[in-house]
Homo-oligomer: A and B are copies of this chain.
């Protein structure tokens, strides 16, 4: 299948630490409930999973934010928990609550019985990737994604979100052998899942380690980071069109472990708002292990008036410092994003103010 030529390569160039004429920007969860057109599509779909498993709906909502804002990338509309759902844990989303598994992992037998799921059960995701890539028609690149092995394990053991991660950490400290087994299965499943997204047309992939930051120093490296590395080691390097596929790893609350994450075989590290981008740039440094940095404005800035949004964007751009203008430099580049997913209560006009501020200010910084 021929692919339309890419019209805006700023995001991919920044991933590969090449100079761009502006700082590319996209937003985690950019297709979401803050958009009235998303709410309308979801109402037609009947449920979140009804939306995510229908190729036409998934394509429609992925493109909705691009119709409003000049974003520099699209991200597949899906959920991080599709993989354990395909493993048979029974994912659902109750109204007003987060995700929930009907059959969480609560004993040794259920963990021992876990297997990498048949990727055919996730065909709806790969079909959505192909459909979205086609619908984008080369306008911007498409990012595929998955939850990290550790983040999936948190939900799989807790059965839902948690405030203390007591069940999953009890397993981790009490039965590290079982936890390692679970993480190996998850890592191999996530790798197969991301590779199938790449084959279907994803032009970059991102691993969301949303709960890596709840681990203790030492435990993070042993359980979360090592299993993310196991995913990365299995990923395809070339996409369906033969282009190289950059890999992004985002550990929320992982700012203290940047030196360890620097060793990951990926191109981009996502950062939350607690990290100073200038410090991160220095800590990641130059050389073969250098990374692009993605982030990191607090999504709550979007509740402030547009002029404050612009001044907070300026702070983030300035904390990163002088952008790359020389194609020969090899240190970190910057991809603008939020430090976490956008809030459902965000005024859509304010997102426009953010994207416009990133584009205009980052162009001016290069002038």
Contacts and interface: CB of A to CB of B under 8 A. Distances in A.
A288 B33 CA distance: 52
A275 B345 CA distance: 33
Interface residues of A, number: 38
Given A274-B253, A308-B174, A164 B219 contact: no
Interface in A180-235: 213, 215-220
Nearest to A212: B274
A215 B170 contact: no
A273 B164 CA distance: 13
A217 B274 contact: yes
Interface string A292-328: 0000111011011100100010010001000000000
Given A256-B255, A274-B253, A174 B305 contact: yes
A216 B297 CA distance: 8
A256 B218 CA distance: 16
A303 B220 CA distance: 18
Given A217-B319, A218-B315, A298-B216, A308 B274 contact: no
A345 B167 CA distance: 11
A275 B308 CA distance: 33
A166 interface: yes
Contacts of A164: 300, 343
Nearest to A312: B173
Contact of A319 (B218, B298, B308): B218
Given A256-B256, A343-B164, A274 B216 contact: yes
A39 to B, nearest CB: 18
A174 B303 CA distance: 7
A24 interface: no
A199 to B, nearest CB: 36
A304 B274 contact: no
A274 B173 CA distance: 15
A301 B216 CA distance: 10
A165 interface: yes
A360 interface: no
A339 interface: yes
A312 B217 CA distance: 11
A173 B343 contact: no
Contact of A169 (B166, B218, B303): B303
B255 A303 contact: no
Contacts of A253: 253, 274
Nearest to A303: B170
Contact of A166 (B219, B256, B312, B345): B345
A169 B255 CA distance: 21
Interface string A125-146: 0000000000000000000000
A289 interface: no
Interface string A150-166: 00000000000000111
A276 interface: yes
A253 B261 CA distance: 18
A275 B256 contact: yes
Given A164-B343, A256-B274, A300 B170 contact: yes
Contact of A173 (B256, B303, B339): B303
Q: Give me the 9 closest cross-chain CB pairs, A-B, nearest first.
A: A169-B300, A216-B273, A173-B304, A170-B303, A216-B298, A217-B276, A174-B304, A255-B256, A173-B301
11 contacts: A166-B303, A169-B300, A170-B300, A170-B304, A173-B301, A173-B312, A215-B274, A216-B274, A220-B274, A253-B274, A256-B274
